[in-house]
Each structure stands twice: as structure tokens, then as C-alpha cells.
Amino acid sequence: MVRAAVLPAVGAPLEITEIELPEPGPGQVRVRLAAAGVCHSDLSLSNGTMRVPVPAVLGHEGAGTVVSVGAGVTGVAPGDSVVLNWAPSCGSCPPCVAGEVWLCDNALAGTAGVHARTADGTELHPGLNVGAFAEETVVAAHCVLPLPEGIPLTDAALLGCAVLTGYGAVHHAARVREGESVAVFGVGGVGLAVLQSARIAGAGTVVAVDVSPEKEALARAAGATEYVVASDTTARAIRKLTGGRGADVAVECVGRAATIRTAWDSTRRGGRTTVVGIGGKDQAVTFNALELFHWGRTLSGCVYGNSDPAEDLPVLAGHIGAGRFDLGTLVTERIGLDAIPAAFENMLAGRGGRALVIF
């Protein structure tokens, strides 16, 4: 039996309880978690913004050590340090064949399976494939990636979602070029990763936008050259900071209709707005046909940073090893399993960056 954070039903409070994990079957790996990041997507799963079979063990951003492997597993062995990959690609569906592995049709197929059981025999599903809010987990072998040497195992948990998403949003989705101005909306874990990635890309003016004035120091440490407290005049403030034109690129990490609209309004004519934040289906963004023509802006979505984890993880390891990317600056709180509900409340209130559960 291991301790885990279980979502008994959509909208219900998380329950910290003991669960029973099976031994790894063919093609499976058992991992002892070192750490798991508390991501806004976990909150979205708990409140029903995103759908997940319940009851479920939440948590999708984690890293740990391989305990045992099932038959046929050759990529990792007991004792190996690994990062969990919540959206593995199947390699054979149309998006995968086209090279768009982040859009894999079968990436979340594992969430429908039975992951573990509670003491009374209740079947549990793995939230977003991996069930990382637990002392140990059993996952499909393609849900683990070997951790490159030199990266602390606890901080490596952030690579599984926030860092790959933020890095990919800049380098793959928005394709930020050297000298371009970038506006980043939302200074949470992903937003902080976007700021560091914009700095790596050689961006010029980098404006961080958040509702909280207390996050300015955090944003500037991550690479922001300017800071704007969100208000009705945000778009005007960003235009003023970018020579009156607007940002070349805006990256929205919040997932709210009003913020997406403001990000769009903050970009220059012909600029690019990339939406990373996951919003509810009731968050409708409207545009008129004339402004679409006149401004010539591009609005695009972004899934998992449009990243291929197998290719991007070694690149990120190089940036981390060279000191260009600091994983520690994303973490504003290190907590235990029991404090995850409080971390959810902090996210709702817009406080802090990334909370990291240390096992």
C-alpha cells in the first residue's frame, strides 16, 4: 500500500488515502516518486474543466526512480532515474505519422484503464495516464523518459509538464526569434518557464503580466524585463513598452477568454498570439471579421508546448547544465502530499509559482 491523493468524484475534495498498486505487467514500469508538481491542469481535472474518469489518482508532472519493470521492457531498468511523460505518442496515428506527436490520437488512452484500488477494492483510474500524486505509480513504459545526468531528481519533476510546455510554446508554437518582443500572460509555473525560454531564444523586451504585484520579483528573476499588473489598460501598457506597436509575440498561460482577448490586443499588426492556458468551454472569445483582416495577427493553440519530449528533453538538459535554465526558480513552495488541496487554493487565488510535492 502507498499513500496517494485521490479524486473520488468531479468537484469533490481530494482524499489522501492508501491505495494498492499492482505489480507491473508486460510493458509496464513501477516508479517510486521523488517529487510531483502541482499543475493547474490537475485543478482543471478536479473541477470538471477537463474530463477524467473518476475516481482517479491525480498528478501528471513527476519524476522518480524505477522500482521494477514488467516483461518486455528494455528502455529502463530498476534504479534508473526517470521523468514521467503524461502524453506519450503512439507513433502510428495520423498526427504521429505527420510528426505532430503532441496531438497523438491515443495519448490519453491509458486514463480509461484501472490503475490501482483503494483498501475497500474501489477501482481507481490514473489521472492523465500517470497518477503522480502518489508515493509510487505503475505506468506504461512509454510514459517514462530516462533523466539526463546532472539534473536534480526532485526538480526534474517540472520537466514533465511546465518546462516542456513553456519551452515548446516559445520555441515550437510561437517560434520566437532573436530580438523579438514577447508578452507573457500569467506568472505561474508555465509562465515562468515561458519567460526563461524567451530569454534563451534571445528575445528583446519581455513583458510579464499577472494580476498579482507580488510576482514581479519572481518574473524578473525568470527573464522579464518589464512587469505589468493586469488591468483594463494592459494592452495599452504593453504597446507603450514596445515602441507603440505591440508585442511581436504574446503567450497566454491563463486560459480565460478575457486574458486571451487582451493578449491578442497586445500584439502588433502581424504579430502572433499563442494560447497555452486551458480554459473551460464556456470561455468564448469573439472577434469581428474586419479586425481579423486589418490586424493580420495569428492566433494559435498550443498542446504540451507542441513538444516531442524524447527530442526536447536532451536539449533542455543542455540548457539546464549550462545554467541557461534554472528549474529552481519555478518552485515557490515545497510541500507534502497532504498540502495539495491548499496548493489548489493558492492557484485559484493566483499566488506563487509552482508547488512541488516532495516524497
Q: Are residues 75 and 100 in the same domain?
A: yes
Q: Are residues 137 and 254 in the same domain?
A: no
Q: Are residues 282 and 181 in the same domain?
A: yes
* Predicted TM-score (pTM) above 0.85: yes
Q: Are residues 340 and 299 in the same domain?
A: no
If we measure between CA atoms, which residue out of 108, 114, 132, 124 comes closest to residue 42?
132
Q: Which three cell numbers stand for residue 9?
A: 468524484
Domain containing residue 296: CATH number: 3.40.50.720
Q: Are residues 213 and 173 in the same domain?
A: yes
Judge whether 319 lies within some domain: no
* Measured distance CA(126)–CA(108) in Å, rounded: 10
Asked if 40 contacts 61 with a C-beta cutoff of 8 angstroms, the reply is: no
* Measured distance CA(64)–CA(36) in Å, rounded: 9
Q: Are residues 139 and 182 in the same domain?
A: no
Supply the DSSP string of 88-113, one letter for each residue.
Answer: ---S-SHHHHTT-GGG-TTTTGGGGS
- Total domains in the chain come to 2
Residue 64, domain extent: 2-160+326-358
Judge whether 320 lies within some domain: no
Q: Are residues 141 and 220 in the same domain?
A: no
If we measure between CA atoms, which residue out of 170, 211, 219, 207 comes closest to residue 353?
219
Judge whether 315 lies within some domain: no
* Measured distance CA(343)–CA(332) in Å, rounded: 11
Judge whether 264 lies within some domain: yes
Q: Are residues 60 and 141 in the same domain?
A: yes
Q: Which three cell numbers stand for residue 129?
A: 495516464
Q: Give the number of other Cβ atoms within 10 Å of residue 351's Cβ.
A: 16
Q: Looking at the DSSP assignment, which residues form a beta bridge with residue 3?
A: 18
Judge whether 312 lies within some domain: no
Q: What is the pLDDT along the chain (359 residues), one digit of tens a residue?
A: 999 999 999 989 999 999 999 999 999 999 999 999 999 889 888 888 888 899 999 999 999 999 999 999 999 999 999 999 999 999 999 999 999 999 999 999 998 889 999 999 999 999 899 999 999 999 999 999 999 988 999 999 999 999 999 999 999 999 999 999 999 999 999 999 999 999 999 999 999 999 999 999 999 999 999 999 999 999 999 999 999 999 999 999 999 999 999 999 999 999 999 999 998 889 999 999 999 999 999 999 999 999 999 999 999 999 999 999 999 999 999 999 999 999 998 888 878 788 999 99
